[in-house]
Amino acid sequence: MDRFERYIQDNPLHIESFHPTFNTALNEMVLAGGKRFRPQLLLSIVHEYAPLLEDSAMRVAYALEIFHTYSLVHDDLPSMDDAALRRGHPTLHTTFDEVTATLVGDALNTEAFGLIAGAAFADGVKVELIQSLAKNGGIDGMIIGQAIDCYFENTPLELEQVKFLHIHKTAKLIAASLQMGAIIVGLEQTQQQKLYDLGIDLGLLFQIQDDIIDETCSSEEAGKTTQNDGDKNSFVNIVGLERTYEEADTLAGAIEQNFKELDEKLQSALQPLMQKYLYRHKGKVQ
């Protein structure tokens, strides 16, 4: 178990009340595991540039992870995807009830900002971190992507519209993860922008890969409900599986090329994650 995983296990969320199950529900999906991709991006940059800040950055990485988890909890609700499995576990609304799942998502969302506000960084750094998460996880990012995704069920979009949807729904939070790592270590704006742009492409690739996984893997293999996108504007539904593989290959190649243009320290920081995830669609689910 790596340091971040230990941090999560050692710092469960807790509220004093007489509610019999809320604390269990609050931590269920956070402790269930997952790829921890977003916090890994952030922590990889901090580790490479400012390892003495890693302990303080853990709290921000945790905030990223619980914010992402909130989005999954809400995405799985009956009013959205109505999924039964997430991270190899039954979804919260099936284990508890829909009200509990909704409120857990709300709690994880707001607690993420509280964690950043209490981190051991200068106030200006914390404001930048909060702004990045709010912008990319909020109405100009994940929320509008989710709204488009739900509104246009059973209404096929053009390919560029599908890319807009998934850049906002998925890619912007991944881009923010890189940007937030860069903010913590004080990288120049030009480097921050290069990382953010790389994150947008990486996040879009991540979604294309997830669409392939949904089409080709069982729920047991993926650890989440699959074959559940029949009404959605997934890449597979819009252009077919073969073209989706081609889109993934093309984007992965472009990311590889852009990755080589980063400075050597950034390449060193992110190389292990790039190796693991860049061609995820070619092999087994990670």
Q: Within 10 Å of residue 160's Cβ, how many Cβ atoms?
A: 8
Predicted local confidence at residue 231, as pLDDT: 78
98 Cβ contact partners less than 8 Å away, ≥ 6 residues apart: 77, 78
Give the pLDDT confidence of 81-127 residue by residue, as tens digits: 999 999 999 999 999 999 999 999 999 999 999 999 999 999 999 99
- Checking if the pLDDT of 285 tops 50, the result is no
- Checking if the pLDDT of 217 tops 90, the result is no
**What value does the mean pLDDT take over residues 180-197?**
97
Q: Could you tell me the domains of the chain?
A: 18-282 (1.10.600.10)
- Checking if the pLDDT of 229 tops 70, the result is no
Predicted local confidence at residue 232, as pLDDT: 87
**What value does the mean pLDDT take over residues 4-16?**
97
Specify the pTM: 0.94
- Checking if the pLDDT of 70 tops 70, the result is yes
Lowest-confidence region among 146-150, 178-182, 279-283 = 279-283
- Checking if the pLDDT of 281 tops 50, the result is yes
- Checking if the pLDDT of 251 tops 60, the result is yes
Report residue 7 as tokens. 């941090």
Predicted local confidence at residue 209, as pLDDT: 94
The pLDDT > 70 percentage for the chain reads 94
Predicted local confidence at residue 286, as pLDDT: 39
Lowest-confidence region among 62-66, 158-162, 196-200, 276-280 = 276-280
